[in-house]
């Protein structure tokens, strides 16, 4: 049967739209390339987070791992580069030993380059994954790619890490993406290995580890236990038990502690900032009443997430769909319950956000507006702006600090609102099958 007479004209319109989207995408990509090149060659942040990783690697390389959690000691008879307290596991410090071979400036360039490559890999996997949920026509695919790269430009948590000399966040983002794909396919040995590696680098993800284990059952728990014991045994064998004792003491000391909004984007930071009514310091411990209020909010988050999870159990999903949703929910749960969420941690939230944008036609208008607001308000996570604003606001009344704290917490506040009020939309989106798959797959 020959196509209708108007088909070539309609096809021409679609091709023209797709071409326009691609042109705009290339323009935005060019902007991203320029920004990353500048960030690579600027020596900003050499005394910040980079120094923390660099000093940790130097201590292990020098055989001084026992001083890993003391930021004030010299390293091999020379001053340390930074004065931040290392707060990751002892084993993770081994990963930074290659940095100690080179000068700080050379190592920081290499570290930032690794960050860029990890971001590229993670975002490419995410883009390919999300496009499977977008209509197959050329215009729809091109429009989503444009929306995806435009979000990257606006989403500040990605790019502010270069101000601190690079971070492990891009590597974690890549691991989370790989783990998401493996877990959805039922490759539990792979997803368990990924999560153990993630927790080794960033212990805050122990919450996600527990959530995934509880929702996956023995098929995940067995490999998770194997890899956890292997990692712990390797760590003790390489670095001795006293180092791990100091790590445990540090974790107990830091557990539940928060900071003011200048470096914190946690859900509870507006409440935690109320202590500024009594003391303008960003590090003063919260009062018992403020701590109790923060804990109450986290318990409310637990209740909300449990309800959403139980509701998802009522949907007729395939096993891959269910595991796909559980991984994303575990990630959001971890960010929502953490007492300290450094602004670059919000990079991880981009994974479910991009998925929802790919499925924008299957979620409510309200849910889509919330997603757009999360991405837009993330622009206020820029650490340079936050630091300057903090300095400018010294001595101002605490209600102004509270208002700014609300803006800093806005991405996670909206994420919680999305889970609590738009769960049906979220479940509808995650209940969508990728193109080419049938519901018979289990």
What does the pLDDT read at residue 291?
A: 80
pLDDT at residue 286, rounded to an integer: 64
Task: Tell whether 241 is covered by a domain.
Answer: no
Is the pLDDT assigned to residue 11 strictly greater than 50?
Answer: no
Q: In percent, how much of the chain has pLDDT > 90?
A: 62
Across the strands, what pairs with 78?
75
Q: Is the dihedral of CA 302, 303, 308, 314 positive or negative?
A: positive
> Beta-carbon neighbour count of residue 380 at 10 Å?
17
Mean pLDDT of the chain: 88
In a domain, 416, yes or no: yes
CA 105 – CA 107 distance, rounded (Å):
6
Q: Are 391 and 384 in contact (CB under 8 A)?
A: no
Kindly state whether residue 233 falls inside one of the protein's structural domains. Answer: no
- Three-point CA angle 429, 346, 307, nearest 5°: 45
Assess contact for 229 and 264: CB atoms under 8 A: no
d(CA 63, CA 59): 6
Q: What is the pLDDT of residue 281?
A: 57
Which pLDDT value is given to residue 218?
Answer: 96
Q: Which of 232-241, 250-259, 292-301, 308-317 has the lowest mean pLDDT?
A: 250-259
Task: Give the whole-angstrom CA distance, residue 204 versus residue 199.
Answer: 7
Is 80 exceeded by the pLDDT of residue 284? no
Residue 181 lies in a domain: no
Helix, strand, or coil (residue 322): helix
pLDDT tens digit sequence for 81-118: 988 889 999 999 999 999 999 999 999 999 999 999 99
pTM over 0.85: yes
Asked whether the predicted pLDDT for residue 2 surpasses 50, the reply is no
The answer to whether 136 and 90 have CB atoms below 8 angstroms apart is no
Domain that holds residue 352: 256-442
- The DSSP secondary structure of 72-113, one letter per residue, reads TS-BTTB--S--PPP-S-HHHHHTTGGGGGS-HHHHHHHHHH
Across the range 28-33, mean pLDDT stands at 83
Closest CA to 285 of 263, 250, 253: 253
Helix (H), strand (E) counts: the chain = 19, 0
Evaluated on CA atoms 324, 329, 332, 337, the torsion sign reads: negative
Are 66 and 247 in contact by the 8 Å Cβ rule? The answer is no
pLDDT digits (tens, 9 = 90+) for 317-343: 999 999 999 999 999 999 999 999 999
d(CA 180, CA 177): 5
Could you give the C-alpha distances from 152 to 17, 35, 119, 416, in angstroms and in order? 22, 12, 11, 22
Quick check: helix, strand or coil at residue 68? coil
Of the candidate ranges 9-13, 279-283, 318-322, the one whose mean pLDDT is the lowest: 9-13
In a domain, 336, yes or no: yes
Q: What is residue 69's predicted lDDT score, i.e. its pLDDT?
A: 92
Longest CA–CA separation in the chain, Å: 83
Gyration radius from the chain CA atoms: 23
pLDDT of residue 358: 94
Has residue 35 been placed in a domain? no
**Quick check: is 26 in a domain?**
no
Highest-confidence range of 125-139, 145-159, 322-336, 400-414, by mean pLDDT? 322-336
Cα 12 to Cα 1, 377, 413: the distances in Å are 20, 37, 44
Neighbours of 181 (CB within 10 A): 19
Do 121 and 174 meet the contact criterion of CB atoms below 8 Å apart?
yes
pLDDT value at 7 more than 60: no
Q: Which residues on adjacent β-strands are paired with residue 75?
A: 78
Tokens of 350: 């981009």
Residue 329 in domain: yes
All residues at 6 or more sequence positions from 245 whose CB lies less than 8 Å from its CB, including other chains: none
Report the domain count for the chain.
Answer: 1
| Torsion, Cα of 140, 117, 176, 24 (10° steps) | -20
3-class SS at 69?
Answer: coil
Q: How far apart are CA 263 and CA 345, in angstroms?
A: 11
Q: What is the pLDDT of residue 3?
A: 45
The CA-atom distances, in angstroms, between 380 and each of 48, 160, 357, 386 are 20, 11, 21, 8
Rounded CA-CA distance 272/281 in Å is 12
Burial state string for 48-71 with b = 16 or more CB within 10 A and e = fewer than 16: bbbbbbbbbbbbbbbeebebbbeb
């Amino acid at each position: 049967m020959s196509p209708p007479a108007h088909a070539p004209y309609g096809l021409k319109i679609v091709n023209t739209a797709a071409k326009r989207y691609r042109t705009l995408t290339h323009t935005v990509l060019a902007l991203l390339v320029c920004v990353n090149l500048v960030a690579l060659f600027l020596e900003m942040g050499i005394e910040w987070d980079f120094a923390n990783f660099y000093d940790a690697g130097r201590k292990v390389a020098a055989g001084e791992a026992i001083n890993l959690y003391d930021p004030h000691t010299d390293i091999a008879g020379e001053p340390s580069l930074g004065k931040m307290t290392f707060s990751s596991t002892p084993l993770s410090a081994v990963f930074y030993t290659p940095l100690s071979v080179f000068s700080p400036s050379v190592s920081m360039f290499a570290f930032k380059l690794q960050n860029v490559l990890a971001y590229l890999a993670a975002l490419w996997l995410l883009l390919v994954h999300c496009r499977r949920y977008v209509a197959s026509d050329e215009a729809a695919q091109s429009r989503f790619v444009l929306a995806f790269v435009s979000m990257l430009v606006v989403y500040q948590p990605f790019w502010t890490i270069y101000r601190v000399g690079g971070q492990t966040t891009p590597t974690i983002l890549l691991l989370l993406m790989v783990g998401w794909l493996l877990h959805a396919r039922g490759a539990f040995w792979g997803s368990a290995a990924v999560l153990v590696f993630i927790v080794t680098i960033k212990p805050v993800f122990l919450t996600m580890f527990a959530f995934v284990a509880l929702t996956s059952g023995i098929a995940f728990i067995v490999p998770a236990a194997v890899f956890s014991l292997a990692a712990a045994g390797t760590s003790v064998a390489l670095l001795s038990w006293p180092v791990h004792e100091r790590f445990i003491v540090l974790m107990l000391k830091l557990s539940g502690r928060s900071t003011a909004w200048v470096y914190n984007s946690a859900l509870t930071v507006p409440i935690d900032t109320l202590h500024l009514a009594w003391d303008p310091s960003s590090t003063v411990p919260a009062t018992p009443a403020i701590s109790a209020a923060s804990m109450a909010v986290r318990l409310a988050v637990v209740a909300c997430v449990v309800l959403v999870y139980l509701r998802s159990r009522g949907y007729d999903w395939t096993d891959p769909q269910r595991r796909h949703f559980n991984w994303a929910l575990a990630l959001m749960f971890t960010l929502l319950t953490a007492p300290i969420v450094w602004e670059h941690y919000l990079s991880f939230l981009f994974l479910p956000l991009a998925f929802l944008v790919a499925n924008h036609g299957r979620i409510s208008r309200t849910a889509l507006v919330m997603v757009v607001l999360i991405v837009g308000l993330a622009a206020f996570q820029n650490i340079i702006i936050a630091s300057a604003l903090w300095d400018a606001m010294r001595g101002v009344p605490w209600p102004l600090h509270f208002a700014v704290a609300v803006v800093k917490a806005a991405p996670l506040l909206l994420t919680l609102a999305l889970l609590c009020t738009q769960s049906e939309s979220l479940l509808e989106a995650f209940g969508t099958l990728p193109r080419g798959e049938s519901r018979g797959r289990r």
